Structure 1
């Protein structure tokens, strides 16, 4: 059976890289993003480069209608989705108290509620067929005090750990991929400065996705790309909360 991967936030950064690497592995693709023009351009390139089938869904995943449409595609049995990559998201540059409640609610929606709804939709079909993988793009921020962004990513990590134990024996694995600083549009879009971040802390998107996919395909619950970040994650349990929070203020 030809396998199909659905990727949210698929036009830039890690989402676009997941699409490229899965396309190179001959997965058919369903790309989800808000920007119709970039979505069409990216889909055409992937078809040409890898000869795979590529569907597109133009969707703002902060809205109920859009989430319902993507969830409906995940529930389709014909040409069913065997890999779901929950990647769509963004950060807020201001601290919690300086954001409006509407901004924080939308942020929570895109980082937690939407992935939860899509996971729920995907699990039904995956469990019925005894095969599937769900990849949740989390963050190193989920291991330290980092405002609502870190709390959202901590939820993804915790849920992925539990779900991998619960559903792995039934053929469906779940993996939280936890990058640190990655050379993408992430910080630019949130308007955050990266000048204070030393060069050694940066990773390339291709490495993050390559290691994340390898861990997901091997059934790991948590993937931390690069040894340097794996060491930082292990050490975060012993770092005073104040130091962890200070590090978290730098960005992702």
Structure 2
């Protein structure tokens, strides 16, 4: 049985990935087969243990718990070590951990801005490298790096960090072409998760039609991974919006991003 490691696994998109991969579907698991064992990564040990027990009891898979804070070097190193384990290999890595900051540039502390870069960029770089190296040796594997449609709109550190995730993933996918290792940046829009509540962000001004279902999003993302896409915008509405965004001058997009604050966020 194959094994998937998911960061930020206890809620939102990460939890949806865990449910889908544990349940298994050959057509909806990135071509890696159905019924994955899981390594669940997050900061809250109690929630991880409850999640692991539920997924094991419901689907009969093995769910390993790894408590790690990806804003700290020790946390990143612990996950790197697990990804590098050749005796218990990881077949699919989902880099989902992330967060938002409430406020515009200079309204957010520099410590919080740097923490965001640590989690969204450094952790993604290091974990992708650890996973891809082991996967390349075996000639198979997949990495999904969760970005955001905010990557395509000028809007502060969050958007910039997610833009980096998209560019990095595309470049790494090109460099690893033919190795059997597939990489994809997942770019969702608004998803009903704990993301906005944790960041203290209101969502009353977000139209109902812009909200996505996490489980449907994950199913579409895994299908895109199976088809070999390197960037996935898993909803026709957001594909259309991003198509229009390409035609709008960057200075106007920046104004839209500022009025929206920091309320885009997938996790």
* Fold conserved between structures, TM > 0.5: yes
Give the whole-Å Cα distance in 2 for the aligned partners of 1:207 and 1:245. 30
For the Cα contact (< 8 Å) 1:131–1:171, is it kept in 2? yes
Give the whole-Å Cα distance in 1 for the aligned partners of 2:111 and 2:246. 32
Structure 1 residue 99 displacement after superposition = 1.6
Larger helix fraction of residues: 1
Corresponding position of 1:69:
78
Q: SS of the counterpart of 1:66?
A: helix
Corresponding position of 1:146:
155
1:176 matched to 2:185? The reply is yes
Give the whole-Å Cα distance in 1 for the aligned partners of 2:9 and 2:232. 20
Q: SS of the counterpart of 2:106?
A: helix
Superposition map of 1:96-175 within 5 A: 96-175=105-184
Structure 1 residue 214 displacement after superposition = 0.9
Unaligned 5+ segments in structure 2 are: 25-34
Give the whole-Å Cα distance in 1 for the aligned partners of 2:256 and 2:52. 37
Corresponding position of 1:51:
60
Q: SS of the counterpart of 1:16?
A: helix
TM-score using structure 2 length: 0.92
Corresponding position of 1:6:
5
Match of 1:191 among 168, 192, 200: 200
Q: How many residues align?
A: 251
Give the whole-Å Cα distance in 2 for the aligned partners of 1:212 and 1:247. 27
Of 58-67 and 159-168, more deviation after overlay is shown by 159-168
For the Cα contact (< 8 Å) 2:102–2:108, is it kept in 1? no
Q: What CA deviation, in whole Å up to 9, does each residue of 1:167-226 have, x standing for no partner? A: 131110110110001111111111111111111111110111111111112221000011
Match of 2:218 among 204, 209, 220: 209
Superposition map of 1:220-235 within 5 A: 220-235=229-244
Unaligned 5+ segments in structure 1 are: none
Give the whole-Å Cα distance in 2 for the aligned partners of 1:46 and 1:246. 44
TM-score using structure 1 length: 0.97
Structure 1 residue 243 displacement after superposition = 3.3
Corresponding position of 1:28:
37
Of 211-220 and 31-40, more deviation after overlay is shown by 211-220
